[in-house]
Structure formats: C-alpha cells, structure tokens
Structure 1
Amino acid sequence: MRITRILCFLVAFITASGFYSLYNYLNEDLEKQTFQATEEAMVDTAHLLTALVECQLDGNQIEMSNLDEALKQADTHKFKASIFKHNKEHVGTHAYITDKKGIVIFDSHTPERVGKDLSEFNDVFLALQDKYAVRSSRNDEDDAASSILYVAVPIKNREGEIIGVLSAYKAQKDVLHFIEARRRWIIFSLFLIGIGIGVFIIAVFIWLFRPLGKLTAYANAISRGERPTFPKIGQGREVNTLGKALRDMRESLEGRRYTENYTRMLTHELKSPLAAIKGAAELLNEDMPREQREKFLANICRQADRSTNLIDGLLRLSQLEAQQELSKPTTINLSEITNEVCDEYEARTSAKSLTIARHIPENLTISGDSNMLATAVANLIENAIRFSPEGGTITISLLEESNKTKILVRDQGPGIPDFAKERVFEHFYSLPCEETKQKGTGLGLSFVLEVAKLHNGAASLENSASGGAIATITLPH
C-alpha cells in the first residue's frame, strides 16, 4: 500500500498546485479586468466633463462655474444602486482642472489642492503633450487600498491650443467591493470543484484500491496458512477478474500442495499397520498353537480396522478442508444436536462405567452446519472416552457469552503433557491411552478445528485446574 500512499500524495500535490496556480491567475486577471473596465469608464467621464468645460470657454479663459455646480449637485443626489449585490449610494467620481502650466485652479473634492503644481504628475504631464494620460497614486504609500485612478484630457480652445488639463479621478477602493465579491465566488467555485475531484478520487479508491487492499489481506492470510473467506469486493469488473484469478490460483496451489502433503502423511501413517499385518501374516505360515494363531489373526484385524479408520477419517477431513466456506449455513438448534450426540454415546460410556453430565440450556440456536457440528461434538466425546478413567465423568456444557457460544467437553483423564500442548491439533498427532497403550488416528481434533474455522470460530484443548482436560469450540452467533 506504500505505492497507493505515494500516489495519493502526488495526486493531492498536483491538484493543490493546479488550484493554487489557477486561483492566482484568475485573481490577477480579475483585478486587471476590473481596473481596465473602470479606466475605460473614466476615459468617457473625463472627455464628457472636458467637453462641458470647453463649451464655456471665453477665449483662453477657463470657466468652471457650470462644472462646479454640476458636480456639487451630483454630490447631493441620494440614491441606492445595487450593483452585483453592492449598494452604491454616492457619486465616487471627481475632477480637478489645471492651467497650461499644471497649476491646479479647481478641485471638486479636494479644494486644498488648488494652487499646487501638478505639472510633473503623469496625468497632467502627458495631457499637456496631448497624449493619453493616466496615473494611479496612493494617498498612503503603506496602504494599497488608498490608490486613486486619474485619467486626464487636455482642454483646448477653438484654435486647438491646449490651455489646461481636466483630470477625472476615482478612488480604487470603490471597485474593491466587486473584486472581493468575485474573488469569493472564484474561491467558492474552486472549492466546489475541489470537493468534486476529492469525491471522485475517493470513489475511485473505494471502487479500486479498497478491493485491492482486501485482496492483499486475503492473500496474506492464505500465506500465513489461514483459510479466510473470499472478501466482498464490489461490482468492479477489473477487481472481480483479479479476485477470481487469485481464488482460482489459490485452489490450484492448495489442491496440489494438499495432495502432496496428504499422500506423504498417509504413506507414513499406513506404514506401521501394514508392517504389523505383513509380519503377522508371515508368522501365520509357520506351525504354531491355535491360541497364538488367533492372537496374530486378531492383530491383523485390529491393524486393518486401524487402517480403515485412518483412511475414512482422512477422507472426511480432506472433504472438510477442501471447503473455503460453509455452502448453506442454516439456523440450527445446537442444544438439540448436542443432546442427540450424547444419547448416541450412552452405550459406549456405560460399557466403561462413565457418566455424561449435561449442562445444556434449551433451544440455544446458532447459524451453521448441523452435520459438521454434530461430528465435531462426537469427536470430542470420543476423545474424552478414550482418556477418561473407568467410573469417571464426562461433562458436556453449552455456554452463551456476549456474542459467542461455547461447546465445552471436560474429562477426568490425565490431562495434556506439556510437550504435546502445541501439537494436539496437528494431523495424525495422537497420544497413547494409558489403559490400552494404543493411539487414535490423530485426525479427530484436526476435524474439530476445521469445523470451528469454517464457522468463523476457534477450538482449544487445555488442562483443567481440577484435573483432566477441557476441549472448547467457540462459535459466533
């Protein structure tokens, strides 16, 4: 998943960089376009005001009374103009006039400027040369919002001579409201696009990478020797194709390895009974007393039975281990199943003077396979009978703990020696019974463990503090 994290980081970094670059571009372009639009309107305003002044010229004498009166009258206007959600309530455009030397002779908004020489300021300087004249200056050098935009137009007499300059000016903060509103709109739009991209990426990761993570966990569980159920990976065709290929590969590899392991184990386990049968058969060719011949015949039958039980048990276990999951789990009455198994073993326990003590609540139900669980309980009881002393008690209990159900089978035998505690669930591993000195097939507890795993549960065998051993099957509800 390291590549996935790196990919996530790269996608996030590239997306963030792209959004940052786009925001900077749009923000800069927004300011330029807004100020360009303002400047264009100011050019028209400056020419209109200049035309008004030129209509009142008396030779080379600039008359400003009408302009002064018009601008003052405009300042008295009370209005509310809603422009792109910004309420404008006063006139923000003003004007000043200089003579042909650049000395201010009139200012509609800042009268204290009258008499000052502005000939070196860009708007007046260029307008006196009959060039396009514009400048932007700050009232406070440390405050960008204090900028004022000036657009100047030369005032000409009837002969076309420049006799002065009219500069229309406007505070740029009057248009900052529109810039901020558009900037917020840009940020909000980019935010929505970012959320859309994020949702899309998350959806892709859920649709593709999350199933891949599940398949990786599934493969890792297999490599650890576990038998996990195939995960739910959604409807994506690609991941389902990969999942099917992985599952087919698992079944193929497990089948091959399973055959090799079981062939080797079965060959090893059958060597002993076959050798005993062969030895007894060879001795039967010799003359011997009837009693001794019957003893060898009984040994042959016993070893043949052992071989048959071994093969039968191995077949049942192999069928169980071939299953990846329960095919058709149903709701079963575990209490009823356990009681039925106990009833079946009454004759066996009576022959050994054993007592089965039952602690089985009524109608305890779980979801599972009734035949598998019945066989698992039978194997535990069979194991308890083998190791229980004559006249002992086997205790069968069903317990409910939070969201789990436990099947417990306790005997009063010698318990498990320390050297065998880690191997009791291994295939073909069996301890000899103290009374008969004979071993079982070593497949009963392996069968129990596989049944528990198929039910998403667990199995354990441990010594009891009061003596004997306790076998436990833990099953989820």
Structure 2
Amino acid sequence: MNVSVRLFFGYFLVVGLAAWFVLTVINRETEPGIRQATEETLVDTAHVLAEMAALELSTGRINQGSFAASLRAATRRSPRADIAGVHKESIDFRVYVTDAHGIVVYDSEHAALGEDYSQWRDIARVLRGEYGARSTLDDPDDPQSSVMYVAAPIFWQGERIGVLSVAKPMSSLAPYISRATARVKQSGFWLLAATAAIGLFFSGWLSWSIHRLRAYARAVADGRKAEPPTGGGHQFSELARALGQMREKLEGKQYVERYVQNLAHEMKSPLTAVIGAAEILEDELPAADRRKFADSIGEQARRLQAIIERMLMLARVEQLQAPEAGATVDLVKMLKTTIELRRQFLDARRLACQLDAPAAVDVRGDAFLLQQAVLNLLDNAIEFSPDGGTIEITLEVGEDEAEIRIRDHGTGAPDYALPQLFERFYSLPRPATGKKSTGLGLALVREVARLHGGEAGFANHPAGGGVAWIRMQQE
C-alpha cells in the first residue's frame, strides 16, 4: 500500500471518527433537546392557565365557568399550521386541576374527576412547594405513548388553593424528532462524503507529486534527460531542485570521467600510429616511403582533430535541455542546402541524390544542429553507397511531427551492429576504404533529435540498403 493511500485512510479514519462522535452526540441530544424545549413551553402555559383558573376554582365553578368553556373551544380548533414541513391539524394537550389536597376537580378530558392525584409526581411536588413535572406512559407496552406533565400552583389571595397540570403527548413531537434526526444523518453523510472527496483530492495531489519525483528519479537512474518536476508545493519543489542539483553534480563527475576514458581510448590508436610513423621517419628512407609515412601522420592528425571537434560538439549538445538558438527552420530549404554542401562528394562517387518533400515544412529548433545531424546521416549514406548508386531523402509530415529519412542502396548494417550504431565511438568499416569513422556522428544525431523532442533510428531496408531517420516535433 503506497504512502498516499495510507495517508488517505489515516486522514479519513481520524476525521471520520471525529465526525461520527459529533454526529452521535448531536443525534442523541436531539430528542432530549426537543423534550426540554417543550417542557419549558409547558411551564409557561401551566402558570398562565393557573392564573386564569384561580377565580373560578376559588368559587367552586371551575367546571361551569368561562375557563372550562374556553378550553373546550380551544380543543375544537384546527390550527392548520405548517411548522418546518410538519402539518399540525389539532390541539394536542390535556389540562386537569386538583384542589389543595390533590383531588381532581377538573379534567379537560373528563377522565379523572374525583380521583386522588396527590401522589403523582407533578402534583405532589407542587403541593410541597417545589417544581412539579413528570413523564408517564399511557400504555405501559408502548414506549411511544409517553406523556409529559408540568404542574403549577393556583393561588387565591396569597393562599395555595390547588394545582393545575398541563399534559402534552410526546407522540405529537415525534415528527419533529424524526425530521431533526434525518437531517442530522443527512448532514453527516454529506460531511463524510465531503471529507472523503477532500481526502481523495489531497491524496491524489500527493500521489501525483510523488509519482513525478519517482519518474524523475527513474529517468536519472536510466541516464535519460529530464527536468526536475515543480508545481507540487514548496517542499516538493525544493526536493525536486535538490535532486536536480545532486544529479547535475553526479552526472558532471561521471560525464567527465566517461568522456576522458572514451577520448583517451579513441586517441590511443591515432597517437600510436603518429608516434610510430615519426620514429620511422627519423631513419634514412626513400622518398616514396617518407611520403607514405608523412601522409599517415597527416591522416591520423586529421582523425584526432575530427574526434576532438565531434566530442566537443556532442558534449555541448548533451548538456542542453532545449535548443539554444530556437527559431523557425524550413526543413525543405535546409535539406536542399545540405545536399549542395555534399555535392562534391556525391559527384566524386557518381551518386544521385533524390529529394521527396512537400513545398515547405517548418519546425522550431536550432538550424545549425539540425543541419549537422542531417549532414552526418547523409555522410554515412554516401560512404555506404556503391559507386553510381542512388540516395533517397524523404521528408514526411505527421500531425505534430516531421521525419527525415535517408536511404542508401548499399549492403546495410549487420544485425549484431544495429543495437549499437548510436553508441559513442561505435563504427563500422566503410566498404570503399575499410576504415572506420570517429563513431560520434550517429550519437550526435540522437542527441539533436532528443533536443528537438524526437528520436533517431536506423534499420535495414527490406529491398536492400539501410534507412536512417530523424524525427522532431513540428512547430
């Protein structure tokens, strides 16, 4: 399990547990809160009604007076109230009044007249001068039949003459409790969903940043060119830059060591030939032999010069991440110029060079480096073509890239050599002379292609000869 998934599960577990705890507390407190709010309202109602009933209770007319008539009229009302989506169509309360001894003298439901309620908690506590309230099940087998009672003392001329109790069935509060509970659960669901979405976003962002760093590290390990990734946050950007600096220092050291080793190896043979020829020239030799050894020294010196020049150019290109002289390059014009630059060598070998290209194709890049790459491919085609043969140059254009193909009609390359053709200092003997080149031309071609967002390659043509190609991003 990767670190992003672990962080996501850890984050979601912590936030989810916190949300579950808060929602559970809220859910548990919903019903008690509604009950407490209802009780507070019943307290006010009981005291108001107690004041209204005092006169008629003191005269013994509590069942025949305006108080009883008003309550009867109230119970017949239909409020048609819409309270937060809950429709209320009836008056849901009960009122009973006891005398100073707890005997019921009035009951709005006419169910308990004459009964002794002095032991009921709401009446008993008020008779003792305390706050009186109780909650009782109408049906002991039905937990939803709970009724809340709140009592208030009735005073007349400073003397307590009775108790009035207001009852409210909790079933009338059930829709509000259910609605509140459903809203809490719904809010909890959306909270968890939002939490998960936020967690996924940040986990994805973290995974994306780590993936880019990992891809960069793998590119460094594989020796491929890659820019340090940025944009993943300050710390990730700093880490990427630190990795980039470390890579540059390590690559710089390895680069120098590798090039010194390669250069020393490639220069050993020409230098040995030069030294040997020079030692022989110290002796008295016929003029023809002296000329032969002098030509050998010149040839090897030119080879050394070519190796050094190619190495310097290849080293410069390999260190670039983008073309230095970025400009619009007309590939068709460049190919025609390249052919003319090698016209002398083509004519010397009686080689025909055919160009198949559209009217104009533009790319964005370094004109000098692109021309050097094409010159290297054309030089190889010239050296591996039979005298009087044909070289075919084709320019093809795709949706967002251009490709230059150069085909010769020689013998092609051996199968064992194909994977190594673009490696530094690897070269095959030229058919005409049996000599090898510096082995740096195709390596330069590959680096120029990479610099222009493309690639280079070589393959033997099915009909004979070889096809070298360089592909680049089109403007």
Per the normalisation by structure 2, the TM-score is 0.85
Of residues 173-182 and 371-380 in structure 1, the stretch that sits farther from structure 2 once superposed is: 173-182
**What is the CA-CA distance between 1:321 and the residue it aligns to?**
0.6
Of residues 129-138 and 76-85 in structure 1, the stretch that sits farther from structure 2 once superposed is: 76-85
In 1: Cα distance, 2:325 partner to 2:120 partner: 93
| Bigger RCO (CA 8 Å, 6+ sep) | 2
2:216 is aligned to 218
Question: Aligned in 2, Cα 1:404/1:105: closer, same or farther, shift over 3 Å?
Answer: farther
Amino acid at match of 2:404: I
In 1: Cα distance, 2:42 partner to 2:178 partner: 18
1:148 aligns with 2:147: yes
**What is the CA-CA distance between 1:244 and the residue it aligns to?**
3.4
**What is the CA-CA distance between 1:439 and the residue it aligns to?**
0.5
1:48 is aligned to 48
In 2: Cα distance, 1:155 partner to 1:376 partner: 111
**What is the CA-CA distance between 1:161 and the residue it aligns to?**
7.2
1:96 is aligned to 96
**What is the CA-CA distance between 1:246 and the residue it aligns to?**
2.9
Amino acid at match of 2:312: L
Amino acid at match of 1:301: G
In 2: Cα distance, 1:231 partner to 1:204 partner: 18
Q: CA RMSD in A?
A: 3.7
In 1: Cα distance, 2:395 partner to 2:181 partner: 72
In 2: Cα distance, 1:327 partner to 1:35 partner: 79
In 1: Cα distance, 2:400 partner to 2:313 partner: 30
Gaps of 5+ in 2: none
Of residues 417-426 and 245-254 in structure 1, the stretch that sits farther from structure 2 once superposed is: 245-254
1:257 is aligned to 254
**What is the CA-CA distance between 1:118 and the residue it aligns to?**
6.9
1:276 is aligned to 273
Asked whether the equivalents of residues 102 and 165 of structure 1 are also in contact (C-alpha less than 8 Å), the reply is: no
1:346 aligns with 2:343: yes
Question: Aligned in 2, Cα 1:253/1:58: closer, same or farther, shift over 3 Å?
Answer: closer
1:397 aligns with 2:394: yes
Alignment equivalent of 1:440, drawn from 417, 421, 437: 437
1:364 is aligned to 361
Alignment equivalent of 1:311, drawn from 308, 311, 315: 308
Number of residue equivalences: 474
In 1: Cα distance, 2:213 partner to 2:51 partner: 81
Structure 1 segment 43-192 matched on structure 2, within 5 A: 43-57=43-57, 63=63, 65-77=65-77, 90-97=90-97, 106-108=106-108, 110=109, 122-123=121-122, 126=125, 131-137=130-136, 147-153=146-152, 166-171=165-170, 173-174=172-173, 176-177=175-176, 180=179, 184=183
Question: Aligned in 2, Cα 1:146/1:268: closer, same or farther, shift over 3 Å?
Answer: farther
1:229 is aligned to 227
1:292 is aligned to 289
In 2: Cα distance, 1:211 partner to 1:442 partner: 40
Q: Which whole-Å deviations, capped at 9, do the CAs of 1:152-205 have from their partners, x for residues lacking one?
A: 346678896776663432445448538836974896599589859966994797
Of residues 214-223 and 54-63 in structure 1, the stretch that sits farther from structure 2 once superposed is: 54-63
Q: Which whole-Å deviations, capped at 9, do the CAs of 1:317-360 have from their partners, x for residues lacking one?
A: 00111112223533221221122112211221111111111111
1:322 is aligned to 319
1:462 is aligned to 459
In 2: Cα distance, 1:190 partner to 1:50 partner: 46
Asked whether the equivalents of residues 19 and 190 of structure 1 are also in contact (C-alpha less than 8 Å), the reply is: no
In 2: Cα distance, 1:142 partner to 1:397 partner: 96
Question: Aligned in 2, Cα 1:428/1:48: closer, same or farther, shift over 3 Å?
Answer: same
Amino acid at match of 2:168: Y
2:409 is aligned to 412
**What is the CA-CA distance between 1:20 and the residue it aligns to?**
2.3
In 1: Cα distance, 2:331 partner to 2:140 partner: 88
Asked whether the equivalents of residues 333 and 366 of structure 1 are also in contact (C-alpha less than 8 Å), the reply is: yes
Of residues 466-475 and 96-105 in structure 1, the stretch that sits farther from structure 2 once superposed is: 96-105
Of residues 312-321 and 281-290 in structure 1, the stretch that sits farther from structure 2 once superposed is: 281-290
Q: Alignment identity in percent?
A: 34
2:330 is aligned to 333
Q: Which whole-Å deviations, capped at 9, do the CAs of 1:428-448 have from their partners, x for residues lacking one?
A: 011111221111111011001
Question: Aligned in 2, Cα 1:113/1:288: closer, same or farther, shift over 3 Å?
Answer: farther
**What is the CA-CA distance between 1:16 and the residue it aligns to?**
2.2
Give SS of 1:408's match. Answer: strand
Give SS of 1:55's match. Answer: helix
Asked whether the equivalents of residues 228 and 243 of structure 2 are also in contact (C-alpha less than 8 Å), the reply is: no
In 1: Cα distance, 2:398 partner to 2:140 partner: 78
Amino acid at match of 1:389: P
**What is the CA-CA distance between 1:14 and the residue it aligns to?**
1.6
Asked whether the equivalents of residues 97 and 167 of structure 1 are also in contact (C-alpha less than 8 Å), the reply is: no
**What is the CA-CA distance between 1:225 and the residue it aligns to?**
0.8
Question: Aligned in 2, Cα 1:140/1:341: closer, same or farther, shift over 3 Å?
Answer: farther
Amino acid at match of 1:397: T
In 1: Cα distance, 2:357 partner to 2:90 partner: 92
In 2: Cα distance, 1:219 partner to 1:281 partner: 51
1:377 aligns with 2:374: yes
Asked whether the equivalents of residues 60 and 157 of structure 1 are also in contact (C-alpha less than 8 Å), the reply is: no
